[in-house]
Chain A
């Protein structure tokens, strides 16, 4: 209950989204309104096709709304141009996806460094930050390995390191454990939990795995594009 006292870091108001396929309009999200508090670990759940990924992409600024507003911090990201949005993403959002999404020709440490190339950090600072981030996910000994030489769990940890290296405002994760075995999934979830608890990171995680969702502080359900309004607070 204590999260509700904090000022929301994300405010979503009356959001609508549909896709256009040929002449067909496919409505995906209807009138979504909710807040995410700073330091919240939100699990977004729902059946396949309910619009979870779409909603997450809108919050993370990689897709455009049809209607409605999304405030992240003080910025209404729905008013930003494509270029402004890119710069905003580079600054404010850390991304973790289901399929690791590392650049295969870059070593682990180079992958983690990648987003820092859009900052003004010096070469040595970039390397330093990347090494710290890798150490935080326990992979400092695998720095020079290419993604292809690592297990799925390890690759996902590199992706987490890349997501946190810029110290973003929010972390978004789309089924981060969806492609992992149980043990690796637990490891990833614990890592995210720690990021949330110890470092106060706001995390928005899409999942349809109840066990994954149970690690979150708040759960919300999407069903056929509608948000179930009774958000469940995790008893923890």
Chain B
């Protein structure tokens, strides 16, 4: 108890130094937390992928389509439960800065395959009934102030011209890891228009979304799908949704690695700063420790004093950093919603924050403790004069 009293008071004895150190730790932990969140946001799409969904696309490249006629054949492959399909539309809303993902899909099956997109039953019916109907994520609708019934015009990039849609439904996420910035409309709407303007490009899909019965044999199912189309005009490549999504971020992986490294460097720097502070304060207290040893206190007591002081400082700073991470991540997430549709501070990030704080305290305390324990009392006392 008395040791606790001493170590707490020691920790805040030099107010300026303690505050600056705590501030440094708080900022470092905040930066660390945000960077870790950026990293995990990169993988949010991968994480959100379902093990029971496969993506089938043209084996040559994602930019080449597949014929719509594959639907029935894929459905007949053993293990396949449901097949949906769609195209990347790539439309622009007003200007390029307003980027959001937009697809045309076969809506009945698509939303059946994505139970994490929650639609109100009545809205869903109205959407399905309206050929020009569209569904938008709640975050997307909120961003542009869209309401049910609004007409939304997208400028086509792959499919030229202005395309009008009527917002019939707004989906929410089953939980907050669900991307709520996407936009969907009827595949048939696009196909009919294409049929009129450029018939060679009609009756084609960019990807098939395949639901399987048993996720544990999904890989086998994928192989069988691809076998079905072997030596046909358009061969397929089928992979799990996770692998498919990973493929999209593979290019930016080097950046992710760099961010990851920076996050550790931040911790490393603050570690050096805290170690230096602890070395300074404990050197000033050499006489105190010598007196305590003179009075009969032992190595254990000195260890508690120094480790305790380091822990009080780093955990205070760490706690402030963690508390600040949440509002900071919210602002960050709002500003960067285009790049990171899901920007959430994960529990794992908080654990890593705490672990980082503990490691900082431990490494900062270990050398001063060793020194304070080893120094002969007589020498320690001489330092006071």
Contact = CB atoms under 8 A, between A and B. Distances in A.
B10 A83 contact: no
Interface stretch (A6-14, A72-80, A85-93, A223-231): A85-93
Contact of B384 (A101, A110, A114): A101
A18 interface: no
A208 to B, nearest CB: 15
Contacts of B199: none
A214 interface: no
Interface of B: 2, 5-6, 9-10, 13, 287-288, 291-298, 376-378, 381, 384-385
A91 B381 CA distance: 20
A24 interface: no
Given A86-B296, A90-B296, A62 B2 contact: no
Contact of A103 (B6, B377, B384): B6
A98 B382 CA distance: 10
Given A63-B377, A110-B5, A104 B288 contact: yes
B6 A106 contact: yes
B376 A86 contact: no
Contacts of B296: 86-87, 89-91, 115, 118
Contacts of B385: 98-99
Interface size of A as a range: 20 to 34
What DSSP secondary structure best describes chain A's contact surface? helix
Contacts of B13: 104-105
Contacts of A105: 6, 9-10, 13
A114 to B, nearest CB: 6
A95 interface: yes
- Most chain A beta-carbon neighbours within 10 Å: one of B291, B293, B295, B297: B295
Contact of A101 (B10, B287, B378): B287
B2 A89 contact: no
Nearest to A100: B384
A53 B291 CA distance: 15
Interface of A: 53-54, 57, 60, 62-63, 83, 86-87, 89-91, 95, 97-99, 101, 103-106, 110, 113-115, 117-118
A114 B291 CA distance: 11
A115 B301 CA distance: 13
Contacts of B381: 62, 97, 101
A57 B297 CA distance: 17
Contacts of A95: 291, 294-295
Nearest to B297: A118
A98 B385 CA distance: 8
B296 to A, nearest CB: 3
Given A63-B377, A101-B287, A86 B297 contact: yes
- Most chain A beta-carbon neighbours within 10 Å: one of B9, B288, B291, B297: B291
5 contacts: A63-B376, A83-B298, A89-B294, A99-B287, A103-B288
A103 B291 contact: yes
Contact of B294 (A62, A99, A106, A117): A62
A115 B6 contact: no
B6 A90 contact: no
A53 B6 CA distance: 29
B384 A99 contact: yes
Contacts of B293: 62, 86
Contacts of A101: 287, 291, 381, 384
B240 to A, nearest CB: 60
- Most chain B beta-carbon neighbours within 10 Å: one of A53, A87, A113, A117: A117
